């Protein structure tokens, strides 16, 4: 079966556009998830994911959206207080999960559109004992990139685990799980990895995985101890979304062929296109929410001048065949977002920006 579909016009920052050959991979027949064919595929997927996470550790595969592995991080964190770093909608979700899982937690909040400061984090961790911090690498709601390497170093100094959500980061932004001595990094399939939604991936350090196996009340479906045990035999604890794994198998091979360094460079080049576009239109009141030096290479939240609503703008751009993302959370009514991630290229981003120009000329 072939999928006929013109890739390159869908710029929602998750789910992002998926190539036709990856979509077509999902039409393969079922296989038993406790059989040799599955284990062989899972081993290939592990190899691909390890290259993306830059780790020798197993990478857990969850048939859930990314939020599931955020919840896993909280539920499997050892007893004690958590510090939630909040700077937008998704980091707020991490704090909410800590709250709803009944954890004691504090917030280190900075305004939406800003990044966290490692020195400030050091002060907060010195003042109180925390077992873990939660942090979002690329805040998809605002387009802000946190320096998770520095923040994770500071957490480690104080003996706190650093639980990193890199859902719109990993695959598009450098992250070195082993070299940076990360404790936990999770991502989702539908952002910079350019897969359909429905899978989530995470790596945990050996120490965190071991500690997770002792945590009371961690539940079943998001028990990292179970993921760890099953990953060792190239399996998942429960029936996985086999069709989505076919897509992951195909896409991870394409990612390996491109190479991570080339992928990161491509994302920077796409971001640069968007930055230059906003700079050209600065006089019209168009600007990027995130400040220079704190911008995510995978997603931009963009302010429109007064008089033009993002909702109306997105609708007009849609008529040209291009789909933009709406604003998210606190920025919902004042911004639109471009997801320049996954398998998009400088050429497809240029096409999208030309469509935006066409609409702006008429406005």
Ligand X SMILES: *Cc1c(COP(=O)(O)O)cnc(C)c1O
| Residues near ligand X (CB under 6 A) | 14, 65-67, 90, 136, 140, 165, 167-168, 188, 191, 197
Q: In the complex with ligand X, which residue's Cβ is closer, 174 or 197?
A: 197
Q: In the complex with ligand X, which residue's Cβ is closer, 15 or 237?
A: 15
Sign for the CA dihedral angle at 2, 7, 11, 17 comes to positive
CB 38, min distance to ligand X, A: 23
CB 68, min distance to ligand X, A: 7
SS3 348: helix
CB 139, min distance to ligand X, A: 6
Report the run of H or E that residue 127 belongs to, with start and end: helix 118-127
Strands 144-145 and 161-165, how do they pair?
unpaired
3-state secondary structure 50-75: HHHHCCCCCCEEECCCHHHHHHHHHH
CB 336, min distance to ligand X, A: 16
Q: For 294, phi and psi rounded to 5 degrees?
A: -125, 20
Q: In the complex with ligand X, which residue's Cβ is closer, 339 or 355?
A: 339
CB 328, min distance to ligand X, A: 9
CB 113, min distance to ligand X, A: 15
Q: In the complex with ligand X, which residue's Cβ is closer, 38 or 108?
A: 108
Q: In the complex with ligand X, which residue's Cβ is closer, 187 or 348?
A: 187
Report the run of H or E that residue 218 belongs to, with start and end: none
Q: In the complex with ligand X, which residue's Cβ is closer, 185 or 209?
A: 185
CB 13, min distance to ligand X, A: 7
Q: In the complex with ligand X, which residue's Cβ is closer, 26 or 163?
A: 163
C-alpha distances out from residue 170 to 76, 133, 167, Å: 22, 19, 6
CB burial readout 247-263, b (16+ within 10 A) else e: bbbbbbeebeeeebeeb
CB 331, min distance to ligand X, A: 14
Sign for the CA dihedral angle at 188, 189, 191, 193 comes to positive
Q: For 162, phi and psi rounded to 5 degrees?
A: -110, 110
- Say how far apart CA 163 and CA 166 lie, in whole Å: 10
Q: Which of 124, 135, 130 is nearest to 91 (CA)?
A: 135
Q: In the complex with ligand X, which residue's Cβ is closer, 38 or 190?
A: 190
CB 282, min distance to ligand X, A: 27
- Say how far apart CA 295 and CA 281 lie, in whole Å: 18
Q: In the complex with ligand X, which residue's Cβ is closer, 44 or 264?
A: 264
C-alpha distances out from residue 353 to 14, 262, 277, 295, 349, Å: 18, 23, 7, 18, 6
């Amino acid at each position: 079966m072939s999928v006929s579909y013109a890739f390159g016009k869908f710029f929602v920052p998750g789910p992002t556009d998926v190539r036709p050959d990856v979509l077509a991979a999902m039409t393969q027949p079922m296989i038993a998830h406790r059989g040799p064919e599955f284990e062989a595929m899972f081993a290939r997927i592990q190899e691909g994911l390890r290259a993306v996470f830059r780790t020798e550790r197993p990478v857990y595969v969850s048939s859930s959206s990314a939020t599931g592995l955020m919840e896993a991080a909280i539920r499997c964190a050892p007893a004690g207080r958590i510090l939630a770093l909040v700077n937008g909608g998704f980091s707020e979700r991490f704090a909410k999960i800590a709250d709803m899982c009944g954890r004691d937690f504090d917030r280190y909040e900075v305004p939406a559109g800003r990044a966290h400061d490692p020195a400030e984090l050091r002060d907060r961790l010195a003042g109180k004992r925390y077992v873990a911090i939660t942090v979002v690498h690329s805040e998809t709601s605002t387009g802000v990139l946190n320096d998770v390497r520095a923040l994770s170093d500071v957490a480690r100094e104080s003996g706190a685990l650093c639980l990193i959500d890199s859902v719109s980061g990993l695959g598009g932004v450098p992250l070195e799980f082993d070299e940076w001595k990360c404790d936990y990094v999770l991502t989702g399939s539908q952002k910079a990895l350019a897969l359909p939604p429905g899978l989530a991936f995470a790596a945990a350090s050996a120490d965190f995985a071991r500690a997770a196996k002792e945590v009371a009340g961690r539940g079943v479906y998001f028990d990292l101890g179970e993921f760890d045990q099953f990953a060792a035999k190239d399996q998942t604890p429960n029936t996985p979304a086999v069709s989505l794994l076919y897509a992951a198998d195909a896409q991870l091979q394409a990612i390996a062929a491109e190479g991570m360094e080339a992928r990161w460079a491509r994302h920077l080049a796409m971001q640069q296109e968007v930055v230059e576009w906003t700079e050209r239109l600065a006089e019209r009141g168009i600007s990027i929410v995130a400040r220079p030096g704190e911008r995510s290479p995978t997603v931009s939240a963009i302010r429109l001048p007064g008089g033009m609503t993002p909702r109306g703008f997105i609708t007009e751009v849609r008529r040209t065949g291009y789909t933009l993302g709406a604003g998210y959370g606190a920025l919902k009514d004042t911004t639109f977002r471009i997801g320049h991630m996954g398998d998009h290229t400088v050429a497809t981003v240029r096409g999208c920006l030309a469509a935006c120009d066409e609409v702006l000329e008429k406005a």
